[in-house]
Amino acid sequence: MNRPMSLRSISLSTLPILAGIRSGLRLVIEIFAGSSKVWDSVGCKRPLTVSKSLSSELDVGDVPLDGQITMLVSYSRSDPVDPATKKFMFSVVFHTSVAKELMKFSRSDLDISIVEENNIPPDFR
C-alpha cells in the first residue's frame, strides 16, 4: 500500500566537501520515484544554504513522492548536468509506505561510494 508524501526540504549535517561551494563546487541532488526523476537541484531556483559549520539546507518547494524513492547525492566542479563531470557521493532509498512525517537518515543508512568514504563524517545525518 503506497502512501503519498511531499518533500519540502533537504538538510545535510556537517559535510566537509561543502567547503568547496565557495570555490565553484556544485552539490547535485537528484530524487527519483521508481525510475522517474521527480526533482533535481540543478534546475532548482532556490540556493543551497551552507552554514559556517558546513551543514546545509535546501528548500525544494513541494515535491510529491509516492512509492520507492531514491535520492542520489553527487558533486561537480564544472557542468553538473554532464554525468561525466559528476562525482557520486552517496544514495539513500526508502518507500513512502513506511515513511514518517520527518525522515532522518544516518551514515549507516547510506550507500556510500567507496571513493568518498573519508569525505562523509561518522556523525553525518
Q: pLDDT tens digits, residue range 84-106?
A: 778 898 999 999 998 888 888 99
Total number of domains in the chain: 1
Rounded distance between C-alpha atoms, residue 108 and residue 96, angstroms? 19
Per-residue pLDDT of 31-52, as tens digits, reads 999 999 999 988 776 666 666 7
pLDDT of 77 above 80: no
Domain that holds residue 37: 5-119
Residue with the bigger pLDDT between 122 and 46: it is: 122
Tell me, yes or no, whether 64 lies in a domain.
Answer: yes
Q: What is the pTM of this model?
A: 0.85
The CATH number given to whatever domain includes residue 111 is 2.60.40.1110
Tell me, yes or no, whether 125 lies in a domain.
Answer: no
Rounded distance between C-alpha atoms, residue 63 and residue 31, angstroms? 9
Whole-number pLDDT of residue 20:
66
